[in-house]
Amino acid sequence: MQLKRVVVTGIGSLTPIGNNTKDYWNGLLNGVSGADPITLFDASKFKTKFACELKGFDPLQYLDKKEARKVDRYTQIALAASDEAIQDAAIDKEKMNPDRIGVVFASGIGGLITFQDEVINFSKGDGTPRFNPFFIPKMILDIAAGHISMRHGFRGPNFAVTSACASSTNAIMEAFNLIRLGMADIIVSGGSEAVVSESGIGGFNAMKALSERNDDYKTASRPYDKDRDGFVMGEAAGVLVLEDLEHAKARGAKIYCEIIGCGATADAYHLTAPHPEGLGAKNVMLAALKDAGIKPTDIDYINTHGTSTPLGDIAEIKAITEVFGEHAYNVNISSTKSMTGHCLGAAGVIEAIACVMSVVHDQVPPTINHMTDDPELDARLNFTFWKPQQRTVRAALSNTFGFGGHNACVIVRKHEA
């Protein structure tokens, strides 16, 4: 069968460096660090006392008080970002078939804060089971997708995707495939995560995954730096409206770019560590390039997973140099996690948004917080340290890798009519 072409017609962003897409993109270009002392709970006794929290987010700007209490923070921010994306795409529900509009949404963990608070409240009682009747529907991973569909009356395919930190890239991949197979005209896709909490920070601290640079938190997220000591927790939501090209053209939609390929692989190696030679990362980029029908030399920008962990950064760069060969030195590489922190299940989509914007504006956002070269990384590579770079970006590739060895990759390209 002839596969349909898929374009991006709407974007929504809620990140630690901008509460909408315009501000988020400006934050990236200006090298803004979203890291600050934690305000969502008392972190004074924790090994890590900082995170990349959202700034000034008020759920009552998007939900009335009664409805806000019925949903976890991860769903609140999902609704905020999806509202922006749907408005940006100018979806007219009166003129479109709602049965052909779906939602594929992701989270790595879901309603962790709700789960934590309900268990704490129960433990403080006398053993009598008193739980909020919305406990389960607030917590479950699929509920953000459900709320987005109910809010907007979209009756097409609707489900959640989870693959740890690769979750929202996998959601984009699923949405992409649904549209190109003709099973929907429009899919609202993305992910959200909000786990800056006692259990979230405490759990990742116990794994020794987080930076503990409390005396210099603004520069704690240091991808590719010799002295990186772990990632910085972030919270975010991002949404892309994916649409069948012909459907978009017929309604005169604004088109940002085209999605041309995706890939998914497994390391099949370790619970949390990457394959030391970057085998899964190598295979997922090769799979995405093959799916897109393009050569490595067609890629101008790679938004790396780049979490600022000692092992992960090295493995990914090994994979990039193997896949791209000599062209690796012509490609701009950057990790926007140096600014947003690691937003777990939302990381993939907000980084895909960075790729979309780089293709649209021919600018590559930087990797900030680089202090000392790592001798294990090839210094000839262009990591786009500290400052954005203006260049023609024909196509951009976004990598995301998750605990459990999940790897996902998406490629976006300039739209040519």
Residues 6+ apart with CB under 8 A from 147: 71, 75, 78, 79
Tell me, what amino acid is at 261? G
Q: For residue 404, what are the CA distances in angstroms to 177, 195, 348?
A: 23, 19, 16
Q: Strand, coil or helix: what is 285?
A: helix
The structure tokens 């934690």 sit at 38
> What's the distance, Cα to Cα, between the start and end of the chain in Å?
22
As a whole number of angstroms, the distance between CA 345 and CA 237 comes to: 9
Tell me, what amino acid is at 9? T
Could you write out the DSSP letters of every residue in 369-406?
---SB-TTS-TTSB--BSS-EE---SEEEEEEEETTTE
Tell me, what amino acid is at 201? I
Residues 6+ apart with CB under 8 A from 385: 366, 367, 368, 370
Q: ∠105-199-193 over CA atoms, to 5°?
A: 20
For residues 336 and 307, the answer to whether their CB atoms sit within 8 Å is no
Q: Strand, coil or helix: what is 200?
A: helix
For residues 186 and 5, the answer to whether their CB atoms sit within 8 Å is no
Tell me, what amino acid is at 126? D
List, by residue number, the catalytic residues.
165, 305, 342
Beta partners for 47? none
Structure tokens at 178: 């649904």
Nearest partner of 333 among 312, 352, 305, 360, judged by Cα: 305
